[in-house]
């Protein structure tokens, strides 16, 4: 995995890059130096003699070269990733860290370096401010951000070195014990990570075609590539997984790896739970939703035509390997969809996580945010591994959400349906006097600012209601809801009168 430092001029990329490369004993490359070397001229000369277009062409070549040299630390020119093709190429093989600092400090650094066009002319403050404004969205769009203000080069390099160190979390509940490794560049180290944990035996991997076309699954491991989508989460596809396991000679000592989103995880997990009465499962989630939710806690299952997750088993993975680098290829709508579960985890048990999203709704997927969202689920699962009580809190947004998902014929993504369900269930909570009257509005505002829907015009309330009945979360024929009490706390096991529920369902289809 490459480590790529990016950010505005003066954010410290080159100095930190050198220091980091030294600490990690890696080669350091600088895109501007690559450009100068290939052109045989200094950058100001390239601009003067051949124009900016020629510079950008050479810069794109330099980015492609960095992407071809895995294992380096690289610093990029401040405009290099304005070109999305450069970004896609680099993010396929590397982690881009966006460095930033207070503008006054950036200017001071640039002046100290001298020979920088930005600070050479009049009013460098204004020039820097307008450059930062023009690139604000670009710089903010990287999930790994490092604030370099007031820190020494070595301190920043150390901070980045720590960020690169995988975190290990544990679900410590009898019958559901498993480890979660969270970090960057873990897929390429998967064989070593399994070996370190004594996870040997024959291995096979299940994934879907989208994932396989974006990521390079393990070259020597037999791989089943299924078509993508919720429609695959069924018993016929589970049967295909059994056939694949048999064809590859998997026995009770083997490992089955699920590389994909929640669909692949639930399906492969179910196959692993049942093949030869259960073989070991390794989850390698590739969506934000699967990382913070579906891959954790041991629930596996498939859908029946009558409803979602109607057949399943508790079968914890032996380990979950969450590689945040895999989120780089995830389509933005899928990333947004996964945020519904992060918001849900904030509502259930981490008010500060919710408030952080409220304050910066567009910055998602950072290591710290993912870790906190995972920790909420881990705590709930540990308190109630087999859903006798508290684990029902995780159903927040899901009782109505599953109804919306099914009534839409699964056109609505899981996370989108959960967002609509969460908004609706907050309204229910308010109607029942369980929460402050302003809570539903606050929750809806956060979901919408993340980019999630909170209404589903076009669906029939009755169809949503019927689909909810097929959902397995009803105990003894009655629906039980998990409802928000305040940010960070939910109540569960709540029964709701039919008229109140139908009123809410009519409300969520309004435009
Ligand atoms: N077991 C649990 O506890 C649990 C919890 C929550 C959700 N779930 C289940 O999870 C499922 C939803 O999961 P999901 O949202 O991950 O959907 P998904 O698995 O369908 O993935 C979403 C889409 O993204 C694609 N994709 C996945 N990773 C990619 C990557 N890195 N790059 C490019 N494309 C990629 C997939 O091919 C798919 O098209 C539902 O079936 C839901 O019931 C289970
Ligand atoms: Zn969910």
Scan for tokens 């009655």, then name that residue. Answer: 478
Burial class (CB in 10 A: 0-12, 13-18, 19+), 26: middle
Percentage of the residues of the chain whose pLDDT score is greater than 70: 98
What is the tens place of the pLDDT at every residue in 253-263?
999 999 999 99
Which residue's alpha carbon is at the smallest distance from atom 9 of ligand 1?
Answer: 262
Would you state the pLDDT for residue 511? 73
Q: What is the pLDDT of residues 215-229, one digit of tens each?
A: 877 888 999 999 999
Concatenate the DSSP letters of all residues of 146-210 into one string. EE-TT--HHHHHHHHHHHHSPEEEEE--TT--EEEEEESS-GGGHHHHHHHTT--S-EEEEEEHH
Q: Are 72 and 2 in contact (CB under 8 A)?
A: yes
Give the pTM. Answer: 0.93
Q: Give the pLDDT score at 389.
A: 84
- Is the minimum distance from the CB of 234 to ligand 1 under 6 angstroms? no
Task: State in Å: Cα 20 to ligand 2 middle.
Answer: 39
Name the band, by pLDDT with cuts 50, 70 and 90, for residue 363.
confident
Query: So what's the pLDDT on residue 172?
Result: 92
Give the mutation target among 209, 284, 291, 294 for probing the ligand 1 site: most ligand atoms within 8 A of CB.
294
| Alpha-carbon span 292 to 284, nearest angstrom | 12
Ligand 1 pocket test, candidate residues 261, 269, 411, most atoms within 8 A of CB: 261
The rounded percent of the chain whose pLDDT value lies above 90 is 85
Indicate which residue's Cα is closest to atom 8 of ligand 1.
294
Radius of gyration of the chain (CA): 25
pLDDT for residue 470 is more than 80 = no
What six digits make up the tokens of 39? Answer: 């052109």
Label residue 490 by pLDDT band (50, 70, 90).
very high
Taking residues 129-137, report their average pLDDT. Answer: 93
Both tokens of 469, joined, read 């009945």
The confidence band for 119, taking pLDDT boundaries of 50, 70 and 90, is low
Under the banding of pLDDT at 50, 70 and 90, the label for residue 291 is very high
Q: Which ligand is nearest to the CA of 261?
A: 1
Residue 422 has pLDDT above 90, yes or no: yes
Sheet strands (E) in 445-501:
481-486, 489-494
Residue 24, token pair as written in the block:
């990690």
Distant-in-sequence, close-in-space partners of 375: CB < 8 Å, separation ≥ 6: 169, 350
Q: Once rounded to an integer, what is the mean pLDDT over residues 357-368?
A: 90
List the single range of 382-391, 393-402, 481-490 with lowest mean pLDDT.
382-391
Does residue 477 carry a pLDDT above 80?
Answer: no
Instruction: Supply the residue whose CA is at minimum distance from atom 6 of ligand 1.
Output: 294
Looking from the CA of residue 338, the nearest atom of ligand 1 is: 15
Q: What is the pLDDT of residue 472?
A: 56
| Active-site residue, 125 included | no
Is there a catalytic annotation at residue 315? no
Tens of pLDDT, residue by residue over 140-171, are: 999 999 999 999 999 999 999 999 999 999 99
Rounded Cα–Cα distance for residues 348 and 357 (Å): 14
Confirm if 158 and 23 have CB atoms less than 8 A apart. yes
What's the pLDDT band for 132 if we cut at 50, 70, 90? very high
Closest residue by Cα to atom 16, ligand 1, is 261
| pLDDT exceeds 90 at position 489 | yes
Residues 387, 473, 485, 503: which is the catalytic one?
387
Q: What is the pLDDT of residues 333-353, one digit of tens each?
A: 999 999 999 999 999 999 999
For residues 308-335, give the mean pLDDT.
95
Query: Is the predicted pLDDT of residue 49 greater than 70, yes or no?
Result: yes
Task: Report the pLDDT averaged over residues 475-497.
Answer: 90
* Distance between CA atoms of residues 394 and 390, nearest Å: 8
DSSP 228: P
476 φψ region: left (φ > 0), alpha (ψ -120 to 50), beta (else): left
241, exposed or middle or buried, with CB in 10 Å at 0-12, 13-18, 19+? buried
Query: How high does pLDDT run on average in the chain?
Result: 94
End-to-end CA distance of the chain: 46
- Taking phi first (over 0 means left), then psi (-120 to 50 degrees means alpha), and beta for anything else, what does residue 385 get? alpha
Question: What helix, strand, coil percent values describe the chain, rounded to 5?
Answer: 55, 15, 30
Q: Is the dihedral of CA 395, 416, 502, 440 positive or negative?
A: positive
Say yes or no to pLDDT of 460 above 60: yes
User: Which 8-state DSSP code applies to residue 296?
Assistant: S
Q: Which two tokens stand for residue 20?
A: 């980091």
503 band by pLDDT with thresholds 50, 70 and 90: very high
Q: Residues with Cβ < 8 Å from 175, sequence gap 6 or more?
A: 314, 316, 385, 386
Residue 244's pLDDT is: 98
387 has catalytic annotation: yes
Rounded to whole angstroms, the Cα distance separating 120 from 396 reads: 57
For atom 22 of ligand 1, which residue has the closest CA?
Answer: 261
């Amino acid at each position: 995995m490459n480590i790529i430092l990016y950010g505005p001029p003066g954010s410290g990329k080159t100095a930190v890059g050198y220091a980091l490369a030294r600490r990690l004993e890696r080669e350091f490359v600088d895109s501007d130096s690559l450009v100068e070397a290939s052109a045989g001229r200094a950058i100001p000369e390239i601009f003067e003699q051949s124009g900016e277009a020629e510079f950008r062409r050479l810069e794109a070549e330099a980015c492609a070269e960095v992407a071809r040299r895995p294992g380096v630390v690289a610093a990029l020119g401040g405009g290099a990733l304005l070109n999305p093709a450069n970004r896609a190429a680099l993010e396929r093989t590397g982690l881009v860290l966006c460095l930033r600092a207070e503008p006054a400090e950036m200017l001071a650094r640039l002046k100290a370096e001298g020979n920088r066009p930005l600070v050479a002319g009049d009013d460098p403050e204004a020039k820097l401010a307008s450059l930062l404004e023009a690139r604000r969205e670009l710089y903010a769009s990287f999930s790994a951000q490092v604030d370099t203000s007031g820190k020494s080069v070595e301190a920043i390099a150390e901070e980045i070195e720590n960020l690169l160190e995988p975190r290990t979390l544990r679900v410590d509940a009898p019958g559901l014990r498993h480890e979660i490794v969270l970090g960057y560049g873990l897929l390429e180290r998967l064989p070593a990570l399994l070996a370190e944990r004594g996870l040997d035996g024959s291995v096979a991997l299940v994934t879907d075609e989208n994932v396989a076309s974006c990521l390079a699954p393990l070259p020597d491991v037999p791989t089943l590539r299924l078509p993508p989508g919720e429609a695959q989460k069924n018993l016929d596809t589970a049967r295909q997984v059994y056939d694949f396991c048999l064809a590859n000679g998997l026995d009770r000592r083997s490992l089955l790896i699920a590389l994909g989103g929640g669909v692949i995880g639930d399906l492969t997990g179910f196959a692993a739970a049942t093949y030869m009465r259960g073989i070991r499962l390794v989850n390698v989630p590739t969506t934000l939703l699967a990382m913070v939710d579906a891959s954790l806690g041991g629930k596996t299952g498939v859908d029946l035509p009558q409803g979602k997750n109607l057949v399943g088993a508790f079968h914890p993975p032996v380990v979950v390997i969450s590689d945040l680098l895999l989120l780089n290829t995830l389509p933005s709508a899928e990333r947004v969809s996964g945020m519904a579960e992060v918001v849900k985890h904030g509502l259930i048990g981490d008010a500060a996580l919710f408030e952080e999203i409220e304050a910066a709704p567009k910055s998602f997927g950072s290591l710290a945010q993912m870790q906190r969202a995972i920790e909420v689920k881990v705590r709930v699962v540990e308190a109630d591994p087999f859903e006798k009580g508290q684990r029902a809190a995780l159903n927040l947004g899901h009782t109505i959400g599953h109804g919306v998902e099914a009534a839409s014929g699964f056109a609505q993504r899981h996370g989108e349906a959960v967002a609509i369900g969460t908004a609706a269930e907050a309204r229910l909570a308010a109607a029942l006097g369980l929460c402050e009257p302003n809570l539903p509005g606050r929750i809806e505002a956060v979901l919408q600012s993340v980019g999630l829907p909170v209404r589903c015009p076009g669906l029939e309330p009755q169809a949503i209601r019927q689909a909810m009945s097929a959902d397995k979360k009803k105990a003894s024929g009655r629906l039980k809801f998990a409802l928000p009490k305040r940010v960070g706390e939910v109540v569960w096991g709540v029964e709701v009168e039919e008229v109140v529920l139908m009123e809410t369902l009519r409300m969520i289809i309004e435009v």
